[in-house]
Amino acid sequence: MKKTVRLLLFLVLLLGLVSCGFPTFTLVGCGDVQGLIDAIDAANSTPATNDTIELAADCLYELTAIHNSTTGDNGLPAITSPIVIRGNNSAILRSTNTTYEFRIFFIASGGVLNLEDLNLFNGVAHDTANQTILANNSGGAIFNMGEANLTRVNVKDNSSHGEGGGIFNFGTLTMLESALMNNECFISSIWSMGGGAGLTNYGDATITRSAITENGTAQQMWDGIFNASQKTLKIENSTISGNAVSGIDNEGLTSLNYVTFAHNWVSLSSWSGSVYVRNSLFADSPCIGNAIFPIGINMDTDGSCGASLTVSYAQLQFGPLALNGGLTLNHALLPNSPAIDAVSTVPSGTFAADLCPPTDQRGALRPYGASCDLGAYEYQGVAVSDQSAGGTPTPTPTPAPGGRDPLSGATATTTPTHTPTLTPTNTLTPVPTATPTHTAAPTHTLTPTARPTRPPRPSATATKACDPTKERCPTPSPTPRSP
């Protein structure tokens, strides 16, 4: 009798657990698109569980048709529950042989998508039936209204006919060891302004140890990242290089720590909102706008970013865009670079926790030497004390504090006001890039790159001539647009 009672209790408990739902783990065969669709549908059917989908290693999952039209056309089911997709270095892409245009992922409000070790290629956000709806035509790879977490993910060669050629974020986005590369916006006459070709952020975005490179170069008009009014963007240990117009076009709150900007038409454009910059490096990449607040030690090559250290591009001793032993593209510091150990002089009021993260963008330990190096790259050789490129720069005295970074609590040391002319043209020559893979390249290039050919820079004293059909123009009270 007791055994029967125990058995009945066990069956009741088991049925109760099944009704609550267990997390599922689904293996999807190499190239099995229908298997991937079925796995996402199954995961969405159990919203209380965090289900995992594992793709075969080094495979292509080619999407050939529109699956649904939730806020625009999508190649995969909308994400409505917590889902993990482990890519094992495989790629999900819109097939080059299909005539249909669609984005890859749509994440609904309440949905959570965690992507790991995955490549997202060739998505196109273009809803021909609803071309006047911005959201339907934005986010070529990902349109996020919930939560998106990307770890070791390459978002490359995607486009939109609205904003966010790579990603449009309307929720919460985190990127770790990931890349936004060669994404594009193709804006028709319907839109008077375009957004970030790599990322348009209308939510909260955190980017760490990642690279945003060569976005917007097809039309020479769009930015690497656009951060909307009253929205937050935090970037650390990352490289922003070779984007067509601004590396970051900011109207909200942006916090930067150990970021390398290089060879963008403009590194930072911020006429409203606030950009707080710490321990960062601006190489051949000027700043414009009156809402940029450097904190502590930063370095630029033309004096336009309000940095405490200014050197010439030749003095900087700066390597080309390459993997340099990491998973994402970065610029190496060469042995005589004045950016090596440059964080050693710390002005009072700077928060110690923000001074030196444990690693650089590649995962190399910080500091290597007396102190941390500026920017995303930590030089791992023996720093040369004799600055043969022209001597060690002397820090410029900083004026009274210009603000406090709400994301870190650190105090800004200056408030630069730059109003140069910005007239993008189609003659900018992008910096050649390597294709990021998950294969480490441990060697360093020991020859600094030549300064790339480009049109005249914005003047530090000229009045900005703003064309609203080609760029975002400052307004006294910027109003965020609804997607």
pLDDT at 60: 98
b/e map of 195-230 (b: 16 or more CB within 10 Å)? bbbbbbbbbbbbbbbbbbbbbbbbbbbbbbbbbbbe
Q: What's the per-residue H, E or C state across 214-255? A: CCCCCCCCCEEEEECCCCEEEEEEEEEECCCCEEEEECCEEE
pLDDT at 188: 59
Kindly give the parts of the chain with pLDDT less than 50.
Answer: 5, 11-19, 191-192, 348, 353, 382-404, 406-409, 411, 413-483
Domain ranges of the chain: 44-412
Integer Cα distance of 413 and 419 in angstroms: 20
Cis peptide before 442 (omega within 30 of 0): no
Partnered with residue 138 across adjacent β-strands are none
pLDDT at 220: 66
Integer Cα distance of 181 and 171 in angstroms: 21
pLDDT at 18: 43
Token pair belonging to 8 = 């009945």
145: region left, alpha or beta (phi > 0 left; psi from -120 to 50 alpha): alpha
Token pair belonging to 306 = 């309000």
Integer Cα distance of 349 and 351 in angstroms: 6
pLDDT at 370: 87
Token pair belonging to 193 = 């302004």
Q: What's the per-residue H, E or C state across 264-280? A: CCEEEEECCCEEEEECC
pLDDT at 190: 54
Provide the residue count of the chain.
483
Instruction: Determine contact, residues 34/64, Cβ cutoff 8 Å.
Output: no
pLDDT at 381: 83
Of 388, 392, 459, nearest in space to 422 by CA: 459
Provide CB contacts within 8 A for 189, sequence distance 6+.
none
Helices and strands of the chain, counted as H and E runs: 3, 32
CATH number, domain 44-412? 2.160.20
Which DSSP letter does residue 365 get? Answer: B
Of 259, 271, 272, 306, nearest in space to 286 by CA: 306
Strands 232-241 and 204-208: parallel
List the strands of the sheet with 124-125, edge to edge.
124-125, 159-160, 184-185
